[in-house]
Amino acid sequence: MYGLEEKSYLPRTVWVTFHLMFVVIAGWLFFADGISIVGSWVGLSWQPGHLGRRMLLIAFGFILFARMTFTAFVLLKRRFDWTECWAVMGAVAFYQLGFAFLGATTTTALSLIDLFAVFLFGLGSFLNTGAELQRKQFKENPDNAGKLYSRGLFGVVRHPNYLGDIVWALGWALLTRNGWALIIPTAAAAGFVFMFIPKLSEYLSNRYGEQYEAWSRRTKRLIPCVY
């Protein structure tokens, strides 16, 4: 998939359409008594939690939807096939519906912890989309053809977009005030460390050779000064 352009927009359109559907379902869970209805299906008395928290949780969902739609049609120029489409749809369902189920019944009032959660979500969103915008600008310059982009946020760590995903997911998890929600950013981090980063590193090494080796010597993969 890396390095190949995708002419068809159909997989992207399907991805975005399903993502919107997941956001709508999350909204139903939060504000249309959906969480109570689902609870009754499994014999549990679930009731909607704190209104302000539910409003923040759905706002996070809309922000993720907007960012990923922008990525699908503006930032993502490489090939995006059906296999990746289904994988991404599974991930966004995990985020949108997972955090909705885990946070919809939380009655705890908003506090400084939630302000920190909002900060993490904003920081992670900036790292992810900001890094992709920087790379897009670099790639659009004909003088940079065949060159590896290793400046900006990519000069801090080799995968700032993945780091951003982990950070915003952690903020979203904290906002639910449900300990089980930490499974979601943990699973995302494991996927990046054990699957996506090794595969992408192999591709970049084969394509860019010494450019990649020099970059990898001066930057960590995911966390500055750590890994």
Domain architecture of the chain: domains with CATH = 1-108 (no CATH), 111-227 (1.20.120.1630)
Q: What is the pLDDT of residue 200?
A: 93
Quote the CA–CA distance of 191 and 166 in Å, as a whole number: 10
> How far is Cα 148 from Cα 212, in angstroms, rounded to an integer?
7
**Can you state the angle between helices 82-103 and 160-176, rounded to 10 degrees?**
30
Say what the pLDDT of residue 77 is. Answer: 80
Q: Which residues of the chain have pLDDT under 50?
A: 1-3
User: What pLDDT digit, counting tens, does each position of 65-102 carry?
Assistant: 999 999 999 998 888 889 889 999 999 999 999 999 99
* Total-model pTM: 0.94
